[in-house]
Amino acid sequence: MAETINILLVEDDYNLGFVIQDQLKGQGYLVQLCTNGVDGLKRFNEHPFQMCIFDVMMPKKDGFTLARDIRKTNQTVPILFLTAKNQTEDKIEGFKAGGDDYMTKPFSSEEFLLRVKAILKRVNLGESEPVQTKFNLGSIVFDAENYVIQYTDGSVKKLTKKESKVLHLLVQHQNKVLPRDVVLNAVWGQDDYFVGRSLDVFITKLRKYLKEDESVGISNIHGVGFKLTTQAG
């Protein structure tokens, strides 16, 4: 079932990344290659992946930080670290960051591919479950794949890509608090003051789009984040 496995590869050495990508594709895997951690996090939140392979020393966001950010929203996707750092404390940090395995460069392609296969077998990824793209929010339907909200009267509201990504994160954490920094890192790739103000504008817009159904609301949790709640009418 290798053709159903989509792998996110984040490696700042483009030549090495291309070689690794080619090796994985040769085994039938689908591979998305990014060259820094910020782009890697954005890509992860845009597409479903069954495995992640991260270099550790990267610009903008290192591999350990990238793994920690991903673990805030996804506890199950397997993560394999590739690094030139071979100290025991580095490996410990990698596992604490949420990694499942750790390979020190340079490594043989045969061992690398066997490690990938073993990890996927260990997490039982022989068959992929269908990814949900439509969500019922009270009487409103959110189509995350096509970036639209559908109302009961048949009308639709077209969302921008970022609006859809923010709402998708809220829906995935429905009735739970979604930390502000998770949204900012996932959608914008950073969590500074200016993008924080942009997020507030997006939340205001989403509230307006959802106000047709009073059982659906987005609450501000002061100092923490947001909560999308749906209640039986």
CATH at 108 = 3.40.50.2300
Residues in the chain, pLDDT under 50? 1-3, 126-127, 233
The pLDDT assigned to 230 comes to 87
Residue 144, CA distances (Å) to 48, 75, 139, 141 in order:
13, 21, 16, 9
3-class DSSP state of 149? strand
Whole-number Cα distances in Å, 108 to 19, 85, 103, 206, 224:
12, 16, 10, 49, 45
Give me the pLDDT at residue 113, please: 93
Q: 91 and 199: one domain? A: no
Q: Are residues 212 and 161 in the same domain?
A: yes
Q: Are residues 110 and 146 in the same domain?
A: no
Q: Choose one of 122, 147, 179: the last residue of a domain.
A: 122
pLDDT of residue 155: 93
pTM (2 d.p.): 0.70
Question: Is the domain of 30 the same as that of 112?
Answer: yes
Which pLDDT score is estimated for 3? 46
Domain range for 16 is: 2-122
- Looking at residue 125, its pLDDT comes to 57
